[in-house]
Amino acid sequence: MTPVPMPKQTAAVLDVDKIRADFPILMRQVHDLPLVYLDNAASSQMPQPVIDRWVRYQQNEHANVHRAVHALSEIATREYEAARDKVARFINAREPREIIFTRGTTEGINLVMHGFGRAFIQQGDEIILSALEHHSNIVPWQMLCEEKGARLRIIPMNDAGELLLDEYEKLFNTHTRLVALAHVSNALGTVNPVREMIHAAHRHGVPVLLDGAQAAPHMAVDVQALDCDFYAFSGHKMCGPTGIGVLYGKAEWLEKMQPYQGGGDMILSVTFEKTTYNAIPYKFEAGTPPIAAAITLGAAMDYLSGIGMDAIAQHERALLRYATGQLRQVKGVRLIGTAQEKAAVLSFTLEGIHPHDAGTLLDMEGIAIRAGHHCAQPVMQRFGVPATARASFAFYNTFAEVDALIAGIHKVQKVFA
């Protein structure tokens, strides 16, 4: 086996050792072995400055927002809104009021399904999705279609996991009301040409929702440059805590949409006869929001910006190239998802070994990967596999960890030989 040389010119874009020192969890052992954490597409880890922000809020600043006049409530409100400003800057939204805090990508998409779908999608209308969507960007639309008598049209993909743009163009007609599309596929790593695809949709007067769960943590996202109408992502995949996510929406759409949930904070006035809704974004944030998690997400964005999203993307690209080269040389490996444009996600199968067994045995080596359908069963069906093993990288992963993965795979194969 000839080893693939390390891409030296790009290996040094980040001081990964220094970065790793920020992540307490990366120091721990699993089964008495150093943790090799390669399940970042499911959830990433939190660095100490972000953890500290959570603790400082709980120790010093906690109160409810937007309600009271007392000092703590004013601090909590200020910090919560400061986090919204940080998110707006992070994705280059025009205004902070275009940023809605949600529980995650899933809730963001459901919000659009309720708020946009209920208002603008009628019987006989069509929604375009792609063949590589996460269940979170399929099931809500199915529910809406069932309710409204609308239907889904699916953009097909080739064997590399790339969407067929000619076929996409053919799906538009006068009934098309929305395109809902992953920016980056969690199961295949494909980076979709979303700018071009949004352009095409807009030529037909159709708005576009991007599922950015796998893009926002790994590349600079500029919602104005993309010109997407909605963009949803999750905090826990980008060094933030669970329970917080973001839905960006163009103000002109958000103004026209119905609230997702009713309750406190989303109203201006309530009588038993009539309720007047609050302005955006509050109209979409019923009840006490996840204040601590939002503020901590703001700290995560500071942390990521401090490293630089372009440097992060470059390091992860180098890891992907190296890992792909190494994995291709392992006999019996089938890579699932070989798009030209890929994020650092490696889905694969091992001949004669179930992905769950591979995952379990790798775990015994301290190596955390995901095995399963990755909430993308249609993708598995497209490639004719029930499941894959998936290694997914973050900026704190190293070339040595790629080597550990490859060594682990060899060990797994020996067990089954």
Ligand X SMILES: *Cc1c(COP(=O)(O)O)cnc(C)c1O
**Strand bridging mode 29-30 / 33-34:** antiparallel
- Angle between helix 71-90 and helix 291-307 axes, rounded to 10 deg: 40
Residues 234-293 that bind ligand X (CB under 6 A): 234
| Residue 347 sits in the site that holds ligand X (CB under 6 A) | no
| Residue 106 sits in the site that holds ligand X (CB under 6 A) | yes
Nearest distance from C-beta of residue 409 to ligand X, angstroms: 23
Q: Rank residues 172 and 233 by Cβ distance to ligand X and give the closer one.
A: 233
Which residue in 145, 228, 239, 375 is the catalytic one?
Answer: 375
**Strand bridging mode 370-372 / 208-211:** unpaired
- Active-site residue flag, 375: yes
Select from 77-85, 99-107, 277-285, 352-360 the region that touches ligand X (CB under 6 A): 99-107
Q: Which strand ranges, in their side-by-side order, compose the sheet holding 99-102?
A: 99-102, 245-249, 230-234, 208-211, 176-182, 126-130, 151-155
Nearest distance from C-beta of residue 404 to ligand X, angstroms: 24
Select from 100-108, 112-120, 168-176, 322-330 the region that touches ligand X (CB under 6 A): 100-108
The one among 40, 44, 136, 190 contacting ligand X by CB under 6 A: 136
At 224, the amino acid letter reads Q
Dump the DSSP string for 234-303. Answer: EGGGTTS-TT-EEEEE-HHHHHHSPPSS-STTSEEEE-SS-EEEPPTTGGG--SS--HHHHHHHHHHHHH
The one among 211, 229, 285, 365 contacting ligand X by CB under 6 A: 211
Distances in Å between the Cα of 347 and the Cα atoms of 134, 254, 374 are 15, 36, 10
Select from 62-70, 206-214, 351-359, 396-404 the region that touches ligand X (CB under 6 A): 206-214
For residues 93 and 248, is the Cβ–Cβ distance under 8 A? Answer: yes
Nearest distance from C-beta of residue 389 to ligand X, angstroms: 16
Say how many residues touch ligand X, by CB under 6 A.
13
Give the count of beta carbons closer than 10 Å to the beta carbon of residue 27: 10
The one among 84, 86, 134, 315 contacting ligand X by CB under 6 A: 134
Q: Rank residues 233 and 348 by Cβ distance to ligand X and give the closer one.
A: 233
Select from 27-35, 132-140, 147-155, 409-417 the region that touches ligand X (CB under 6 A): 132-140
Coil/strand/helix, residue 36: strand
Residues at the site binding ligand X, with contacts judged by CB under 6 A = 41, 104-106, 134, 136-137, 182, 186, 211, 213-214, 234
- Annotated active-site positions, please? 375
